[in-house]
Structure 1
Amino acid sequence: MKHLGIAFLLAALSACTAIDPVDAPTRIKAIEAVLPPSKSFGAARPTPPVRSNENIAADFLSLHFALESGAKLPVFTRFEGPVTVRLTGMPPASMQSDLSRLLTRLQREAGIDIRQIPEGQANITIQAVSQKQIHRILPQAACFVVPNSSSLEEYRRDRRKSKSNWTELRSRERIGIFIPYDASPQEIRDCLHEELAQALGPLNDLYRLPDSVFNDDNFHTVLTGFDMLILRAAYAPELQSGMTQEQVAALLPGVLTRLNPRGDRIAAQPVSETPRAWINAVQRALGSGAGSARRINAANEAARIGQQQGWTDQRRAYPHYLLGRMGQFDDPEAAQQQYALALKYLDATPGTEVQRAHITAQTAAFALAQGHGADALPALNDAINVMTRAENAALLATLLLLKSEALRQAGQIEQARTVRLDSIGWARYGFGSDLVVRSVTQDIAQSAATNTGG
């Protein structure tokens, strides 16, 4: 989606920005001056979970008693007592503001006694480092969390020791989180949400969860109502570090009845585990080489496994979404068929509004290419509302640019311009101001060269 969004941004700025072809530094400053400022989200409006407490209890146990690798965790662990957080390294301004906002949410929604301290030893240390430093240790990681380390240097030195092994943990006292300072504001914020939540609670990800950041499909970017309920339950007074899975399971029904009484009135659905073969196929489908035969074969394999499992939830939809993304440039018509298949299952699964909004961005782009912008407006408006609530600025910017083009095709030129400008502020947060400015500078330079015959 990032490349699609930037492409639309270039068109948008070409239409609303006039800069003389002067030297590069002056041009960049001039563009900065006319660009709308980076936007930020207001008060969080998470959607409450729409599943039964019986299902949520099963999810809680799966999240807390296993790692993503499948390794089992022998006991439940959490912080006992107030939790302190310290931000170190080279954090940009947006990182501090997003951390403050997240800590407020954790206090209010999860009931966790957590606060930031300016110095000294904290329970959780968040170190802002470069992407290059992270990739030297974990080449595929955007950010990561580890036990019993407070700096990247300490973790690099002790990563082979038992203190750095989650399966050896019996209580949580000191956790390190490493996040790149040289990513976009949204990428930094997304890392804060996922890694701080894992530092406090679940260490596993489950593809079966439609409404959670604890899912490797990456549709959700900030902690959801479900996630906050899981964290609130983890810090319930009935539980404590060192409990076995059986002990926690015996107490969870009472905890969830107290915290989420509406969940007792919702019928439980059969819990279906996700086979490792499906997970492996999806991970291969997400690999490098867009549209490669290996990725397409892997997505088709995941679709076959989902059919064999008898799934009708978002896991059945996900491979079709991936196939649509991989084929949308080579065979747009076939890609639309894959998106339609994905929507068939998503429409029947509660809590999948965010996934459907992602597909709207793809189907609306296809409609615009066919000149059917006016027809795409209702779906775009719905998706924009969903992404505003989900706080995904990158996709929100793209959806707004699609809406701008749809309005232009419908003859609503002034409204199209207003929406286009609105999208740029969200793009600066979602994609990063530097990327937006560089893209616009390059586009204007190319336009100037074309107009002067260069």
Structure 2
Amino acid sequence: MLGCAAEFGANAGAGGELPAIASRQRSEKKSFTDGEIVDGFLKTAFGAEYHLAGRVDRIRKFDTPVRVFAESDGRADRKAQLAKVVADIARRVQHLDIAMTDDAEAANVRVKLVRDRDLYRTISTFYGAEKAREIRSSLDPQCLSGFRKNEKFEIEHSDVILTVDNGDFVFLDCAYEELLQSLGPINDTASVPWTMFNDNVSMGFFDVYDQYILNLLYDPRIKAGMTLPEVRNVLPEVLADVRTWVKQVNNLAE
């Protein structure tokens, strides 16, 4: 999926009934070694596919409840699909408090639902014409997410832009990828074949491998601002607990 996740500023899920998603779920790889999980986590939680300011060698995550507000001129069906995506993420990430809100002022994640023809105009409105040109020339995304963090590397606000008129699969694929990346694992990688944070991979649902990544990130022992050595020090015990949770929530066999 040609999505873009960017860090801005210094300081059966929802579509299991779709054939394209159902076929991917049937063939999904669900068994991974510790090394495979840790490799993907470190590659996505550190770094940034496209960043404009600030350091990218620290863990970045929300340290508060996450409230998602959807802004759209229409397409109530897309808002409903987005709400299902958010509910699915909430169910599968143990220590993440995330939910929709109808109060724009209470939201720290804003999702802008736009027509495809309005995508780059919307990106320009959010980030300025020059940055929009840079994003278009380097990434040419179909959807976009970005966040800003404070000096403690805590995410304070995220913006997600999704197109509503490219079909159900593209919408759901973008919604999962960009919402999840807006929570912290912002670095796309082509070297991990099981993650949706790979521009060569399209899922349309919250796969088991990425559940491992998000559950590791939002475990309370993994804190915003941690360095790579600090994270490696606590990962073994965190991963053991995360394995238990992901197995339980997905009814995985031993």
Assess same fold via TM > 0.5: yes
- 1:12-23 aligned at under 5 Å gives the runs none
- Matched with 2:225 is 242
Pick closer, same or farther for the CA change 1:182–1:203 going to 2, 3 Å: same
Q: In structure 2, the residue corresponding to 1:175 is in which secondary structure?
A: strand
- Matched with 1:120 is 104
Match of 1:257 among 221, 240, 243: 240
Which runs of 5 or more structure 2 residues have no equivalent in the other structure?
Answer: 1-14, 122-131, 247-254
Q: What CA RMSD, in Å, does the superposition of the two structures yield over aligned residues?
A: 2.9
Residue identity over aligned pairs, in percent, reads 25
How far has the Cα of 1:48 moved from its partner? 6.3
2:148 is the counterpart of 1:172: no
Pick closer, same or farther for the CA change 1:187–1:252 going to 2, 3 Å: same
1:142-177 CA-partner distances (Å, limit 9, x unpaired)? 1101224xxxxxxxxxxxxxx8xx9x8821011111
Q: Which has the larger radius of gyration?
A: 1
How far has the Cα of 1:194 moved from its partner? 0.8
2:3 is the counterpart of 1:41: no
Q: Which has the higher contact order (CA 8 A, sep 6+)?
A: 2
Match of 1:52 among 23, 29, 33: 33
- 1:126-137 aligned at under 5 Å gives the runs 126-136=111-121, 137=132
* Residue type of the alignment partner of 1:60: F
- 1:53-132 aligned at under 5 Å gives the runs 53-68=34-49, 73-111=56-94, 112-121=96-105, 122-132=107-117
| Higher percent of residues as strand | 2
- Matched with 1:214 is 197
Q: In structure 1, the residue corresponding to 2:104 is in which secondary structure?
A: coil
Alpha carbons 1:213, 1:222 under 8 Å: kept: no
Q: In structure 1, the residue corresponding to 2:112 is in which secondary structure?
A: strand
TM-score by length of 1: 0.42
Which runs of 5 or more structure 1 residues have no equivalent in the other structure?
Answer: 1-39, 149-162, 264-454
1:411-449 CA-partner distances (Å, limit 9, x unpaired)? xxxxxxxxxxxxxxxxxxxxxxxxxxxxxxxxxxxxxxx
How far has the Cα of 1:90 moved from its partner? 2.5
Pick closer, same or farther for the CA change 1:55–1:181 going to 2, 3 Å: closer
* Residue type of the alignment partner of 2:209: F
Q: Using the alignment, how far apart are the partners of 2:78 and 2:152 within structure 1?
A: 29
1:15-49 CA-partner distances (Å, limit 9, x unpaired)? xxxxxxxxxxxxxxxxxxxxxxxxx5359868563
Q: Using the alignment, how far apart are the partners of 2:30 and 2:235 within structure 1?
A: 16
Q: Using the alignment, how far apart are the partners of 2:69 and 2:179 within structure 1?
A: 12
Q: In structure 1, the residue corresponding to 2:203 is in which secondary structure?
A: coil
Q: Using the alignment, how far apart are the partners of 1:177 and 1:70 within structure 2?
A: 15
Pick closer, same or farther for the CA change 1:258–1:125 going to 2, 3 Å: same
Alpha carbons 1:91, 1:181 under 8 Å: kept: no
Q: Using the alignment, how far apart are the partners of 1:59 and 1:190 within structure 2?
A: 19
Q: Using the alignment, how far apart are the partners of 1:90 and 1:188 within structure 2?
A: 16
How far has the Cα of 1:186 moved from its partner? 2.2
How far has the Cα of 1:261 moved from its partner? 5.4
TM-score by length of 2: 0.72
2:147 is the counterpart of 1:147: yes
Alpha carbons 1:123, 1:175 under 8 Å: kept: yes
> How many corresponding residue pairs?
207
Q: Using the alignment, how far apart are the partners of 2:51 and 2:35 within structure 1?
A: 22
- Matched with 2:164 is 181
Q: Using the alignment, how far apart are the partners of 1:115 and 1:69 within structure 2?
A: 27
How far has the Cα of 1:135 moved from its partner? 2.6
Q: In structure 2, the residue corresponding to 1:107 is in which secondary structure?
A: helix
Alpha carbons 1:78, 1:235 under 8 Å: kept: yes
Alpha carbons 1:82, 1:113 under 8 Å: kept: yes
Alpha carbons 1:179, 1:188 under 8 Å: kept: yes
* Residue type of the alignment partner of 2:36: N
1:122-156 CA-partner distances (Å, limit 9, x unpaired)? 110001123233234343221101224xxxxxxxx
Q: In structure 2, the residue corresponding to 1:125 is in which secondary structure?
A: strand
Q: Using the alignment, how far apart are the partners of 2:112 and 2:232 within structure 1?
A: 35
